[in-house]
Amino acid sequence: MNKSAKKIRAFTLNEMLVVLLITSLLVGMAFSVLRLVQQQMNGITHNYERNTELNLLRQSLWIDFNQCDGVWYDSSRQELLFANELRKVEYQFHKKYVIKERDTFFIDMEERKTYFNGELKGQGEIDAMDLRTSQEGGGRIFVFKRNSSTSYVKQ
């Protein structure tokens, strides 16, 4: 026999196929988990953006309600007007968004109620507003102000 023919230790073809099969299963599972994590992150991002938009509108309305002497709502034009000695601010309500001067709040409005002295009022001077967003939006904004004496004299 030939002494130069030594047996080289190596993996067999079956062992290599098993390793490739296990590796492909692990990579497939990793991509599945990655896709689930990305979907979860997209959902979290969407909820965060929606809540941020709702909070920005709430804050803007709250500031305008408490800085202006008079607040009027026109239901036919879907407009809310704030006025004091220095400035006027106008909000326009649409189904999918609210416009305030140069700002646009992308909020899907479902219901709008306006009040004066605790009574529901559809048009004219108001002192409180209740906004409800659609089910997908899942939010509510209620803002009010204390009336000045001029609000009662004008009636």
pTM of the model: 0.74
Sheet with strand 109-116: strands edge to edge: 119-120, 109-116, 128-133, 140-144
Please, which pLDDT band fits residue 43 given cuts at 50, 70 and 90?
very high
Strand order in the sheet with 103-105: 103-105, 98-100, 88-93, 79-83, 70-74, 124-125
How far lies 30's CA from each of 18, 26, 27, 154, in Å?
18, 6, 5, 69
Which percentage of the chain shows pLDDT scores above 70? 90
Confidence (pLDDT) at 69:
85
